Structure 1
Amino acid sequence: MLLALIRHGQTDWNLAVRMQGRTDIPLNDTGREQALIAAAALDAAPWDAVVSSPLVRARETAEIIATTIGVPLGSTYDELIEQDFGVAEGTLVAELDTRWPLRDFAGKEPDHEVGPRGIRALERIASDHAGGRVLAVAHGTLIRHTLAEITGHDARDYPRLDNASSSLVRLTDAAWRVVTVGGVDVDEALPALDGRAEPTRLAS
């Protein structure tokens, strides 16, 4: 099975660089355009379905992609929802270190729970679409933690993923393998993650 984890398009809170988490902010016009560009950039091989997080910014991104490439719009998966940042949601990212230097936001979903939750999402999607090629629209932090859970890295080692960027994972012999990170081949990404090379910006 091949699964593309796509970060949703831009929202006004992304543009303002605010913590978003589970606050249900819609796409802005740029985000809708990014979803169209993401659809055009997908490889030509047929995809079987587009699924998503239930949050509106992810669902709308999924709807745009599904309509553009003519693929069925599938289910939402609660496990694909973004990490809950509790009281920090809505705060400018530039203010976080001053207000919460330890990032210990009240109501925050523990970091160590996010990656395993992402893996549960992959397993559910794989069960529902056995052997298929599926596009799953989710959220930047959730995607980074999920990839880190697969590769054994700290999620903080992963770069920020651009809106509408795609990271590929493949299920082979009951094990998940990361193929690309934000559009960059994993063999190029891993040296940077392991500290063996200067980190590079991983864009879609």
Structure 2
Amino acid sequence: MTIALIRHGQTDWNAARRLQGRSDVPLNDTGRAQARDAASLLAAEPWDLVVSSTLARARETAAILAEELALPVAGAYHELVEQDYGVAEGMLVADMRARWPERDIPGMESDDAVRGRALDGLARLADAHPGARVLAVAHGTFIRHALAAVSGHAAGDYPPLANLSASVIVPGEAGWRVETVAGAPFADLLDALGGRAA
């Protein structure tokens, strides 16, 4: 099985550098164009189906990819939604960082909870689509936590992920293994992540 975790297309809040989290912000026209452009790159490899988180920006990105690649949309998964940022949702990222430098935001979903949810989502996808090559449209912070949960590194050590970047996870000898991060081979990131392989 292969799962490509794809960050959704741009929204107006992305462009303004506002925290989205669980806020259901739609794609903007740039985000829709990004999804169409990404489909042409993804077409270089075979894929079987597209899934997404339940949030509108991920579902619309998935729908565009599915249409462009002539693939079925095989559901929306609550396990793939973005981290809940509690009272900070809608704030400028810079303002959030100034107000809560330790990320102790009231009502925020814990990092541990996101990592656990990510592993649950990967297991659910593997059970539902054994052996498939899956495009899973999710969210930037969620994807970094998913990669961290698989590799054993800190989510904060992973680089920011551009809209429509794809990070690939495959089965390994003991669970999942990170193959690429935003298109770059995982091995190329090991120094930045502390030098440990997954």
In the superposition, the TM-score normalised over structure 1's length comes to 0.93
Task: Provide the alpha-carbon RMSD of the alignment.
Answer: 1.4
Residues 88-126 of structure 1: CA deviation (Å, up to 9, x unaligned): 000001111322222111110011111121111011011
Structure 2 CA distance, aligned partners of 1:55 and 1:179?
26
Structure 2 CA distance, aligned partners of 1:195 and 1:172?
18
> Contact 2:9 / 2:163 at 8 angstroms: preserved in 1?
yes
Residue aligning to 2:164:
164
Give the SS at the match of 1:60. Answer: helix
How many matched pairs? 196
Structure 1 CA distance, aligned partners of 2:61 and 2:20?
16
Structure 2 CA distance, aligned partners of 1:41 and 1:193?
27
Q: How does 1:1-204 map to 2 (within 5 A)?
A: 1-173=1-173, 175-194=175-194
Pairwise CA distance, 1:174 = 5.8
In the superposition, the TM-score normalised over structure 2's length comes to 0.95
Pairwise CA distance, 1:44 = 2.8
Query: Structure 1 pair 195/16, CA: closer, same or farther in 2 (3 Å)?
Result: farther
Structure 1 moving runs of 4+ over 6 Å: none
Q: Percent identity between the aligned chains?
A: 58
> Contact 2:43 / 2:69 at 8 angstroms: preserved in 1?
no
Structure 2 CA distance, aligned partners of 1:155 and 1:51?
23
**Ranges in structure 2 where 5+ consecutive residues have no aligned partner:** none
Give the SS at the match of 1:137. Answer: strand
Give the SS at the match of 2:191. Answer: helix
Pairwise CA distance, 1:193 = 1.6
Pairwise CA distance, 1:46 = 2.2
